[in-house]
């Protein structure tokens, strides 16, 4: 992470350049409508800040993990990923799909469209529909702006909304003091190197969006149910990181089935 003074300097420079070009609207912390979710979200983090932290987390992951240079794996991930992203409409991100050489059963997507799948999870995905299940779900978290919302909620809870508003409103340099807290709350910090578990509400939203993206990209949404059931039984035998952050209990499966029925995918 750059130190505080260089971060605030960078932000100020970006802001000046942006204002001169007329492209940057001043960021006002508050509630923002999310059309993908059809609801409004508490948003205390600007897109610029989110992008900066995501880029940092991505660079850190590329250094920490070993990238698998097997074209069969990489092409499969890219093929499915690009189709799902097209269907999601989230094409404004600069998407990148990387396979990590590890038996870890895990996958994650950063808010800037950087996608990491471990060899271990790809090996248990018998069909591309299974891959599209996880891809759709993860892209759903991006469309739902879930990590920014979670970080905003945590910031509000920790600091108190009025204190936070005054800190953010007063100056860029004071805002920069909170950058590390934001990074940690986003769950993609250098220290952790993992994506923190999401709330149940976020998981269900990502499931619904993921199923929609599967259908939109020509995959079979019913295979999402099969895959999550398989993941839950697998979790009983050995700890899979992905399953531990994505508990697929009965109500979750039932909710997914209900959505598939309601949309007419079945």
Active site residues: 138
> Between 108 and 178, whose beta carbon lies closer to Zn ion?
108
- Say if residue 159 is exposed, middle or buried (CB neighbours under 10 Å; 0-12, 13-18, 19+): middle
Cβ-Cβ contacts under 8 Å for 138 (sequence gap 6 or more): 107, 108, 109, 115, 206, 210
> Between 45 and 206, whose beta carbon lies closer to Zn ion?
206
Query: Strand, coil or helix: what is 263?
Result: helix
> Between 131 and 206, whose beta carbon lies closer to Zn ion?
206
Helix axes 4-21, 47-64, angle to 10 degrees: 130
CA dihedral sign, ordered 64, 70, 76, 82: positive
Two tokens at 112? 């800037």
> Shortest Cβ distance from residue 197 to Zn ion (Å)?
8
**Contact, 120 vs 105, CB < 8 A?**
yes
> Shortest Cβ distance from residue 56 to Zn ion (Å)?
22
The residue with its CB nearest to Zn ion is 206
Separation of alpha carbons 205 and 12, rounded Å: 35
> Shortest Cβ distance from residue 137 to Zn ion (Å)?
6
> Between 129 and 205, whose beta carbon lies closer to Zn ion?
205
Separation of alpha carbons 37 and 150, rounded Å: 15
CA-based R_g, the chain, Å: 19
Task: Give the C-alpha distances (Å, rounded to integers) separating 145 from 35, 110, 197.
Answer: 11, 10, 14
> Between 85 and 206, whose beta carbon lies closer to Zn ion?
206
> Shortest Cβ distance from residue 1 to Zn ion (Å)?
25
Residues at the interface with Zn ion (CB under 5 A):
206
> Shortest Cβ distance from residue 119 to Zn ion (Å)?
20
């Amino acid at each position: 992470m750059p130190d505080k003074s260089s971060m605030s300097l960078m932000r100020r420079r970006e802001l000046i350049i942006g204002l001169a070009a007329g492209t940057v609207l001043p960021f006002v912390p508050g509630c923002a409508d999310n059309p993908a979710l059809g609801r409004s979200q508490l948003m205390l983090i600007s897109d610029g800040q989110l992008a900066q932290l995501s880029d940092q987390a991505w660079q850190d992951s590329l250094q920490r993990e070993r990238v698998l240079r097997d074209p069969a794996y990489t092409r499969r991930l890219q093929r499915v990923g690009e189709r799902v992203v097209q269907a999601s409409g989230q094409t404004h991100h600069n998407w990148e799909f990387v396979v990590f050489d590890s038996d870890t059963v895990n996958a994650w997507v950063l808010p800037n469209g950087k996608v990491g799948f471990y060899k271990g999870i790809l090996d248990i995905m018998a069909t591309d529909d299974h891959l599209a299940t996880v891809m759709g779900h993860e892209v759903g978290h991006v469309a739902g702006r879930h990590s920014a919302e979670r970080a905003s909620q945590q910031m509000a809870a920790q600091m108190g909304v009025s204190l936070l508003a005054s800190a953010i409103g007063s100056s860029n340099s004071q805002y920069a003091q909170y950058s590390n807290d934001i990074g940690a709350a986003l769950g993609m910090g250098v220290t952790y190197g993992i994506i923190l578990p999401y709330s149940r509400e976020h998981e269900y939203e990502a499931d619904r969006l993921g199923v929609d993206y599967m259908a939109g990209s020509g995959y079979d949404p019913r295979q999402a149910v099969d895959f999550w059931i398989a993941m839950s039984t697998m979790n009983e035998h050995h700890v899979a990181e992905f399953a531990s952050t994505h508990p697929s209990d009965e109500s979750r499966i039932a909710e997914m089935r209900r959505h598939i029925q309601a949309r007419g995918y079945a």
